[in-house]
Amino acid sequence: MSSPIPRALLYVGGTVACLLLIPPAAIAYIRSQSSPGRPVHLIWDMDNQAKYKAQEENPLFADGRAARPIVAGTVAMGEANLDTHFTEGVTGPSAEWATTLPAGLVADETFMRRGQERFNIYCSPCHGFAGFGDGMVNRRAMTLMNNSSGSVDNTSWTQAKNLHEDQIRAQPIGQIYHSLSYGIRTMAGYSAQIPTEDRWAIASYVKALQRSQNAAPQDIPPDRRTQVGSEEAATVASAAPSDQANRDGGHDRQGAVNQ
């Protein structure tokens, strides 16, 4: 019985099959060895790029380093917070709370109006338009907390502070600025949403609100005292429909939660 395939062909085929095993074996061997040269890279894609990485050598420079030192006087974006009065609300070597506005800011009418507008947007929901801690969000939360069946979803709520408390009224403007910028206890900070200058405008407005609740006649410039007197008389005369006053955005003290 002779096989249908010629014997010679079997020999040749067997030899070729054995030879074909050599290249993969050689490749596997070479891959398993370490080599000082670059790996053979047939398709480069973006594996090797014409650039230097940190810590690499670069003969172009005298010191041979590819990574260059920072040019003297360089300030990275967002890192120029050298004026700590402006950015942190503190002054002096012992970082006392600033009692004045930082240089360059002036508490003129535009600035105060800006502060009022920003306060009404960002702070009034909790602290109320006049700062008594009676904002709508706060009122709603307090109602939910004081449910007869316990607080909703077992959450808790910290009463927004009445900004006219003695302890807060005594705070320098820098401290108010710092609290609203970086947060205080359970209150979150607003530095991410509100630009720095606007935060100073808000702090100024908070101080103005506080002052407004304890103003003496001497606080009014002499030339405007008579004017205020007559306005007050006019207000008292027309004060009867308190609904109207509320609708006009008057600060609604009756509704204050913490009274």
- The answer to whether residues 191 and 199 touch, using CB atoms and an 8 Å cutoff, is yes
Alpha-carbon distances, residue 95 vs 83, 84, 85, 88, 91 (angstroms): 12, 9, 9, 9, 5
For position 101 contacting ligand HEC by CB under 6 A, the verdict is no
Count of residues that bind ligand HEC according to CB under 6 A? 21
Q: Which amino acid is at 17?
A: A
For position 192 contacting ligand HEC by CB under 6 A, the verdict is no
Q: Which amino acid is at 171?
A: Q
CB of residue 207 to ligand HEC, shortest distance in Å: 10
For position 127 contacting ligand HEC by CB under 6 A, the verdict is yes
- The answer to whether residues 141 and 160 touch, using CB atoms and an 8 Å cutoff, is no
Q: Exactly one of 116, 162, 179, 210 binds ligand HEC (CB under 6 A); which one?
A: 179
Q: Exactly one of 81, 186, 244, 258 binds ligand HEC (CB under 6 A); which one?
A: 186
3-state helix, strand, coil in the chain (%, to 5): 45, 5, 50
Distance, CA of 196 to CA of 83 (rounded, Å): 12
For position 142 contacting ligand HEC by CB under 6 A, the verdict is no
CB of residue 176 to ligand HEC, shortest distance in Å: 5
Q: Exactly one of 66, 184, 245, 256 binds ligand HEC (CB under 6 A); which one?
A: 184
CB of residue 154 to ligand HEC, shortest distance in Å: 18
Residue 70, Cα to own-chain centre: how many angstroms? 27
Distance, CA of 172 to CA of 204 (rounded, Å): 10
For position 98 contacting ligand HEC by CB under 6 A, the verdict is no
Q: Exactly one of 168, 208, 220, 245 binds ligand HEC (CB under 6 A); which one?
A: 168
For position 190 contacting ligand HEC by CB under 6 A, the verdict is yes
> Count H helices, E strands: the chain?
10, 2
Q: Where does this chain bind ligand HEC (CB under 6 A)?
A: 122-123, 125-127, 137, 158, 160-161, 163, 168, 176, 179-180, 184-187, 190, 202, 206
